[in-house]
Amino acid sequence: MTGLGLSLPLLLTRLRERAPGPVGGALRGALAAGLGLGSCAVLVMVLWISSPFPDSGPSGALHTAAALWLLAHGAEVIRTDTLSGVPAPLGVSPLLLLAVPAWLVHRAARDAAEESESVVGVWAGVAIGYLSVAAAATYYCAGGELRPSWVSCVAHLVVLAVAASGFGVWTAHGRPYGPLPGPLSGLLPEGFVREVVPVAVRAALAGVLALVAGGALLVAGMLVWHGEAVRESFLQLTGAWSGRLAVLLLCAGLVPNAAIWGSAYALGPGVVLGVGHTVGPLGSSGAAMLPAFPLLVAVPKAGDGSPLTWAVGAVPVLAGVVVAGFVVTAGAGWTWRRTAGGVAVAGALCGVAMGCLAGAAGGTLGRSALAEFGPVGWVTGAVAAGWVCAVGVPVGSAVWWWRERGNRVPEADAEPEQPAQVGAQAQAQEPEKVTVPDPETERAKDDSFALYDFFDEDPHS
């Protein structure tokens, strides 16, 4: 509270709470975009202030922050300060930065949907508010050395804003499952969609995690094996501690990219490191003139594969086993056909997910030799689906058969019961009859009543 009234943060909070659904969603979307931009600006300004040799003033640092924010969405930016003077595209986005805007938009939509009943209004409001700030940031970035690629920026920003806000609204309403669209309702059985598809989705996520984890272990092992070369590369890039901090942060942001590259290498298609240069477990044609960067030092040299490189095939095999085990465990009581179908659907979904991740992890670093850099998305996805289905379907079928064999008792192994035993069991199962004694009969049997026998039993007789 100030002398003029409410403070600005409190005023914005009251405005968001009292605004209707679309307006409140737009305010939350704009706030989410502002928080993301502010985070990048703070990071870049700290590095710029601490740098002993700043190349530009505060305006250049802010333009770099806006370009970094666009790059975090997967958008492509254009470098204008190249040695040749020809602008070069930069499209390899650190995937770790992608989590920041996605989480901010998701949370903004979720909070707005919890306070309003208008689903479409909140969804559209958050997306429009976020894209409004993004449009201003893109326009501002166009005046710097890193300029936006307008087509790429529009596509990536719209997809992220719409997808993340829609997922946030869906989360706020309990993630319900609605009916299938008209064309699909007649093609897929309702029971299959309700029972098999959710299990297949979770199994596919487990398979993707297994592949990415295996790729991360592979990259970590290569970096440790070439530890001295990695250290020298890190120290040669810059001598200032602020520059080394920037390189370290960039390496941390590219860790998810490196893990996906490792999984693409283990799957077999390998990684493209320049036009016409592919590195894979079956053989490597070498790499182009790579930038001096610590994560690129561990790239295998040119040559044929060896048993050591072939051993990375254990990663997709393990992923197939994980998917099969997940489906068999979650689908207890299913038939063999449904179990095999669930594993196949999970393998297809795993391939789609790996294809999208591989496409997002790569990009371009220039116009000529480095125009292609990273795994090829559709090839990686197709091979991942083939690995998971080829391994998972037989493993899942074998586990299903073994479990059913253990639960089923053959009739020939059961010994027939003997007739005497059957009669004894039937007699044992019959309820015991309780006999109530007659008082007169008991009196006649008991000698203690003999003294009183001189009385007539019926005095009136």
* Encoded tokens for 147: 């300029």
Helices (H), 73-118: 95-114
Question: In angstroms, rounded to a whole number, what is the distance separating the alpha carbons of residues 137 and 146?
Answer: 13
Percent of the chain scored above 90 by pLDDT? 49
Q: Is residue 396 part of a domain?
A: yes
Q: Is the pTM of this model over 0.85?
A: no
Structure tokens at 237: 């890039």
Does 199 share its domain with 170? no
Sort strands 303-304 and 373-374 into parallel, antiparallel or unpaired: unpaired
Lowest mean pLDDT among 69-83, 200-214, 270-284, 316-330: 270-284
**Three-class secondary structure of residue 276 per DSSP:** coil
345 and 225, same domain (yes or no)? yes
212 and 104 fall within a common domain: no
**pLDDT range class, residue 186, cuts 50, 70, 90:** low
Average pLDDT over residues 17-26: 72
Q: 219 with 301, same domain? A: yes
What distance in Å separates the CA atoms of residue 70 and residue 138, rounded to the nearest whole number? 7
Question: How many residues can be counted in the chain?
Answer: 461
Residues 201 and 334 occupy one common structural domain? yes
Q: What is the dihedral of CA 160, 164, 166, 170, to 10 degrees?
A: 160
Is 461 within a domain? Answer: no
Q: Distance (Å, rounded) from C-alpha 379 to C-alpha 375?
A: 8
Tokens of 404: 């059913």
Evaluate whether 112 touches 21 at the Cβ level (below 8 Å).
Answer: yes
In a domain? residue 427 = no
Burial (0-12, 13-18, 19+ Cβ within 10 Å), 174: exposed
Q: CA neighbours within 13 Å on the CB side: how many for 142? A: 9
Task: Kindly state whether residues 289 and 405 are assigned to the same domain.
Answer: yes
Closest CA to 194 of 179, 206, 204: 179
Residues 160, 51, single domain; the answer is yes
CB-CB neighbours of 74 under 10 Å:
24
Domain end point (choices 175, 210, 234): 175
pLDDT one-digit tens code per residue, 89-125: 998 999 999 999 999 999 999 988 888 778 888 999 9
Question: Phi and psi for 393 in degrees, rounded to 5?
Answer: -65, -50
Asked if 232 and 151 sit in the same domain, the reply is no
pLDDT at 457 over 90: no
DSSP 124-145: HHHHHHHHHHHHHHHHHHTTSS
Higher pLDDT, 167 or 403: 167
Q: What is the CA 43 to chain-centroid distance, rounded?
A: 27
Domain holding 28, by residue range, is 12-175
Q: Is residue 4 part of a domain?
A: no
pLDDT number for residue 458? 47
Q: Look at residue 451 and tell me whether its pLDDT is greater than 50.
A: no
Q: Are 7 and 90 in contact (CB under 8 A)?
A: no
CA-angle at 296, arms to 293 and 298, nearest 5°: 130
Is 99 inside any structural domain?
Answer: yes
Q: Are residues 154 and 236 located together in one domain of the fold?
A: no
Mean of all residue pLDDT scores within the chain? 83
In the chain, the amino acid numbered 255 is V
- The per-residue pLDDT for 240 is 81
On whether residue 308 sits in a domain, the answer given is: yes
Asked if residue 450 belongs to a domain, the reply is no
Q: Does 146 share its domain with 87? A: yes
Section 387-398 average pLDDT: 95
Decide if pLDDT at 417 tops 60: no
What local confidence, expressed as pLDDT, does residue 3 receive? Answer: 44
Domain end residue (candidates: 175, 199, 234):
175
Q: Is there a contact between 206 and 326 (Cβ–Cβ < 8 Å)?
A: yes
Q: Sorting pLDDT into bands at 50, 70 and 90, what band is 453? A: very low
pLDDT above 80 for 393? yes
pLDDT of res. 424:
47
* Whether residues 213 and 290 fall in one domain: yes
Q: What's the pLDDT at 182?
A: 58
For residue range 317-370, list pLDDT tens digits in order: 999 999 999 999 988 888 899 999 999 999 999 999 999 999 999 998 888 778
Q: How far apart are CA 93 and CA 75, in angstroms?
A: 8
Who wins on pLDDT, 300 or 381?
381
Q: What is the pLDDT of residue 13?
A: 59
Domain count, the chain: 2
User: CA-CA distances (angstroms) from residue 314 to 45, 143, 345, 351, 393?
Assistant: 45, 49, 22, 17, 17
Please check whether residue 355 is in contact with residue 416, taking contact to mean a CB–CB distance below 8 angstroms: no
Residue 185: the pLDDT is: 61
Q: Are 238 and 266 contained in the same domain?
A: yes
Q: Which amino acid is at 383?
A: V
pLDDT computed for residue 176 by the predictor = 80
Residue 26 maps to a domain: yes
Predicted pLDDT at 17: 57
